[in-house]
Structure formats: structure tokens, C-alpha cells
């Protein structure tokens, strides 16, 4: 018989303030479930909380923080939750029937926008529903799809057996981003699957516009450890880089007239797609141009992050030899 006592929630973050509200909201639903928070700093007065273990570490890697937490965990099942997300009712209980039938898999749920957001947060939430920003947004940012196997969903809301996680060598600790993509790739190579459960739902907060665009850039900046791994699925991440390089290639239009025509044609097509996508997502006309700007900025920023991250990554590789 599975119960909530069989689970440990694992939350990586930087400081206690990042996770404080999440812990309160978890406790509103689950008074006694075990929680491990792995973070970089916390005041001693905040560490004494029932059934919550705080682990302080110097690493900035989410993957390594999760590995450290799992190594301190004794429960049969583990849950990976982001520090700015919190569960809906029956969050843990919704996975019971799947764990009874399905072995050696991840059970993952959607992470949707929380209620009572300010206007800018609502705008960011709408933009995250775009295919230009989010992979499989119909699964990640909504819960209308039926339960099914899918190829990927981020680890903001993952359930899995601790033994299964360890059997795959845990997450690759040197990855600062895309640790979940890498884990799922290694999992699928062994013919294991990821199962989507729409009722296993969490609310995932949005921040400021500046933070959102910056986060997209950083996402790309730390992409090279993944891009360096030669597998066909990783080539998807080269698309933002190729588009960033294309945008920077406009001087060629001054030399080759045909390239000027090609450049203008591709850029026009891009703006038409973004314009139509903004129309589809926008709920208030007054936010249209704001959304258009954010959608373009958030779409191209990972590509420029990958471009500038190239020099940092290979410089570090050279220094580490």
C-alpha cells in the first residue's frame, strides 16, 4: 500500500528565501511529508523545521544538489520540485495508481501558472504557452491532455523511484542546465519511459520580465556541455544558435545582393510567425506590443546565450586540461 510516507520532496535552490513560500504551501496540504532542501545559504534559526532537512553546499549545479539530496534520502520514492513551484490538491496521491502499474519510469505532471499574479506575470505565463518558447507547451503549461507516455517534460515536477534514479547514475553533476534532458536521454537509451499525469499538477510562479529574458539567455549560455554530447536529439538545441548567427550575418547583404533578399525574406517570415503567435496568445489588446517585444526577446536570447557561452565553455575546458 503506497502512502505519502513513502515519498521525499527534494528542492534545490540558492537561498532559504527562494523556497520559504513553497514550504508553507506544501505544509498546507502535507503536514508530515519529508522534505530535503539543498541550498547555498540559510540562517541557523530557519533550519529547525519538522521533517525538513536543509543541506548547505557550495555547488551551483541543480543536478548536483539533487544528487546530494537523494544520497541523504531513505524513502522509496523521490519527488523533484522547483523552489518557485507548489502543489495542487492530491498532488502526491495522483501518482499512486501509476506507481502500482508502472515500474522504472518517471511520472511527471504539468506546471501551470498560479492564480493571483500581477499583469506582467500573467503576460509571461501566456508567452510560456508559445511553441517559440516552451517545448510541448500543451503538456507543460496546461492539464487538458490525457495521461500518456511522452518524450520529455522538465524536472520541475517529477516523481520516480529512488532506486531507479540511482540505477541510471543519477544526474550529471557538471551540467548547470538541461540536466533533466540529459537524464531522460540516458533513460530512453535503456528503453525506460516518461509518463505524463495531468492530475499531478503544480503551480509554477513567474517573475519579472527582465528576470525571464535573462533566465532564457543563461539557459543558452550553459548549453554547451549538452551540445558537446553527440546524440541526434541534442541537435534540436542548435536551432537557436543558428538563428542568432543568421541575425548577425546582415553585413553580408551589403556585399551580396541576393543575400540581402534572402535575409529580408527570412526575417519577414519570422516576424509574421511571431505576430500571429502574439495575436493567438494575447488576451488584452493593451498588452499586445509588450507581448510582441517579450516574445521576440525571449525567443532569440537563448541563441545569443549559446553563442557567447561557447567562448566561456571552451576556455574553461582548456584551463581544466
Q: Is residue 185 part of a domain?
A: yes
Q: What angle do CA 156, 310, 84 make, to 5 degrees?
A: 20
Query: What pLDDT sits at residue 103?
Result: 78
CB atoms within 10 A of CB 123: 23
Coil, strand or helix at 109: coil
Contact (Cβ atoms closer than 8 angstroms) between residue 203 and residue 171: no
E strand intervals along 130-230: 148-150, 157-161, 193-196, 202-204
Query: What pLDDT sits at residue 318?
Result: 58
For β-strands 148-150 and 85-87, DSSP reports them as unpaired
Structural domain boundaries, residue 305? 211-320
The CATH number of residue 176's host domain is 3.90.550.10
Mean pLDDT within 111-133: 94
Domain final residue, candidates 154, 180, 207: 207
Query: What pLDDT sits at residue 317?
Result: 59
**pLDDT band with cut points at 50, 70 and 90 for residue 101:** confident
Burial class, 37, CB count within 10 angstroms (exposed 0-12 / middle 13-18 / buried 19+): buried
CB atoms within 10 A of CB 170: 17
Strand partners, 7: 77
Residues 195 and 238 in one domain: no
DSSP 271-293: HHHHHHHHHHH-SSGGGHHHHHH
Residues 108 and 14 in one domain: yes
Domain final residue, candidates 207, 224, 245: 207
Element spanning 246, H or E? helix 238-248
Mean pLDDT within 153-162: 94
Residues 242 and 315 in one domain: yes
Q: Is residue 130 part of a domain?
A: no
Query: What pLDDT sits at residue 266?
Result: 96
Residues 68 and 96 in one domain: yes
Q: Is 271 a residue whose pLDDT tops 90? A: yes
Q: For residue 144, what is the DSSP state?
A: -
C-alpha cell at 272: 509574421
Amino acid at each position: 500500500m503506497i502512502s505519502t510516507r513513502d515519498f521525499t520532496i527534494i528542492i534545490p535552490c540558492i537561498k532559504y528565501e527562494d523556497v520559504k513560500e513553497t514550504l508553507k504551501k506544501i505544509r498546507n496540504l502535507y503536514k508530515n511529508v519529508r522534505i530535503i532542501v539543498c541550498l547555498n545559504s540559510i540562517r541557523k534559526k530557519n533550519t529547525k523545521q519538522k521533517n525538513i532537512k536543509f543541506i548547505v553546499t557550495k555547488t551551483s549545479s541543480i543536478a548536483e544538489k539533487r544528487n546530494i539530496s537523494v544520497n541523504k534520502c531513505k524513502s522509496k520514492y523521490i519527488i523533484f520540485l522547483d523552489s518557485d513551484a507548489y502543489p495542487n490538491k492530491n498532488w502526491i496521491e495522483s501518482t499512486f495508481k501509476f506507481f502500482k502499474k508502472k515500474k522504472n519510469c518517471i511520472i511527471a505532471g504539468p506546471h501551470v501558472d498560479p492564480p493571483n499574479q500581477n499583469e506582467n506575470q500573467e503576460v509571461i505565463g501566456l508567452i510560456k504557452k508559445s511553441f517559440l518558447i516552451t517545448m510541448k507547451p500543451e503538456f507543460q503549461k496546461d492539464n487538458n491532455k490525457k495521461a500518456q507516455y511522452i518524450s520529455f517534460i522538465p524536472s520541475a515536477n517529477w516523481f520516480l523511484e529512488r532506486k531507479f534514479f540511482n540505477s541510471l547514475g543519477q544526474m550529471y553533476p557538471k551540467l548547470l542546465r538541461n540536466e533533466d534532458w540529459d537524464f531522460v536521454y540516458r533513460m530512453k537509451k535503456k528503453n525506460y519511459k516518461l509518463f505524463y499525469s495531468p492530475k499531478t499538477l503544480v503551480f509554477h510562479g513567474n517573475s519579472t520580465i527582465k528576470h525571464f529574458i535573462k533566465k532564457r539567455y543563461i539557459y543558452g549560455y550553459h548549453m554547451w556541455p549538452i551540445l558537446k554530447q553527440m546524440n541526434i536529439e541534442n541537435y534540436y538545441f542548435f536551432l537557436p544558435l543558428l538563428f542568432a548567427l543568421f541575425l548577425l550575418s546582415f553585413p553580408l547583404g551589403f556585399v551580396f545582393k541576393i543575400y540581402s533578399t534572402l535575409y529580408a525574406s527570412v526575417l519577414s517570415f519570422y516576424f509574421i510567425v511571431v505576430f500571429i503567435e502574439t495575436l493567438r496568445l494575447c488576451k488584452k489588446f493593451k498588452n499586445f506590443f509588450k507581448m510582441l517585444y517579450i516574445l521576440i526577446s525571449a525567443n532569440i536570447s537563448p541563441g545569443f546565450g549559446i553563442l557567447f557561452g561557447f567562448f566561456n565553455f571552451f576556455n574553461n575546458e582548456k584551463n581544466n586540461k
